[in-house]
Structure 1
């Protein structure tokens, strides 16, 4: 009697649905990574077509994952909104409102240096309830921190939350000219906090002034950028 051939066990066939999900997730991560790069370099005005090209996917694939640009922005910056909310919450819990306020301003300016596009997101209204709730809660805590710093007499009464916007606008110029690794932004932020303080407020520590040559070259770069 002939011996029956033994057929080895074959590996199970891959699940087509699982393969499609994995491929879709890879495309999503590529889109998010591309959007982060472009938002950081060019701001939120970059087009969806440019993001698709950067991610090396088709427009149809991009819009299947994110039907609208605000949904993509939300997905890209959700972790940053969480980080910002945690930052504000921590600073607002400081028993010294002035210390909490100065810590908040310095941390936000540091965040601006590491991710310039993030600050464009703060005024936006997000479609997702959780993200929008956290952003709105952070705004409320900042206003409360400003109010309490005024109440103890360390923050000038004429200070407005819109002065923070002016500070970030000016700091953006400093960062563009001197670069995020320079001491220029930290020095500038500390000097502005001293300007916001009342006479009796504890003085904010001043980082060292950047070298003269560094500031000179930063000014030249800024002038050249405006002339092009």
Structure 2
């Protein structure tokens, strides 16, 4: 029981610290924030990569709830809206998340953000496009990127944050409607490798 409480306290501490960025994140800073000794921290997590991986895995369980909500939707279009709003809401509630995955992309060359969502989002897109509700020139990556960019407003203060997110979410959703496809989307959606590379580059910029 004590081991679990200690782990939870450490992960809560690193999440609080990561809300301000990870450029100056150290194991000693995490230990101080968590109120544990360095020896205790290192027994639980040997290095920053292990610590951030554990936090990332914990945060990603939030998306399991979104997946369940998506599965309950009566239409593909409702599932698209649930995916975008759910991802954006999670990022707003956990502003540390972008900092965590960008730093992990630096520390772990095998890291890939949300790869397990590629197929489920593709399936949602196929259903919505088959209904004729979602424009035909977008794919799952477009939806994921739009949702994650909405999460960038997490660091704005309230009440401006909620107003910004609500307005941008409404604009994004309307822009995805099949009826809104007056102007074709230029080019092609970027793939998984390009997304991972973009995250890695953003992480490098943030820690310079």
Please indicate the TM-score interval, normalised by the length of the shorter structure: 0.5 to 0.7
Question: Is it true that 1:111 corresponds to 2:86 in the alignment?
Answer: no
| CA positional deviation for 1:42 | 2.1
How many angstroms apart in 1 are the aligned matches of 2:6 and 2:99?
25
Match for residue 62 of structure 2 among 58, 69, 83: 83
- For the pair shown, the structure with the greater C-alpha radius of gyration is 1
Higher helix share: 2
Q: CA RMSD in A?
A: 3.3
Unaligned runs of 5+ in 2: 106-110, 182-208
| CA positional deviation for 1:186 | 1.4
Cross-structure match for 1:57: 36
How many angstroms apart in 2 are the aligned matches of 1:85 and 1:149?
21
| CA positional deviation for 1:36 | 1.9
Mean Cα displacement is larger for which, 112-121 or 143-152?
A: 112-121
| CA positional deviation for 1:107 | 1.6
- Alpha-carbon deviations, 1:25-55, whole Å to 9, x = none? 5543332221121123325973323212322
Cross-structure match for 1:195: 175
Unaligned runs of 5+ in 1: 1-20, 126-131, 202-228
CA distance 1:159–1:190, change in 2 (3 Å): same
CA distance 1:173–1:71, change in 2 (3 Å): closer
Name the structure, 1 or 2, with higher relative contact order (CA <8 Å, separation 6+): 2
How many angstroms apart in 2 are the aligned matches of 1:168 and 1:121?
17
TM-score, length of structure 2 as denominator length? 0.66
TM-score, length of structure 1 as denominator length? 0.61
Match for residue 126 of structure 2 among 147, 158, 161: 147
Cross-structure match for 1:167: 146
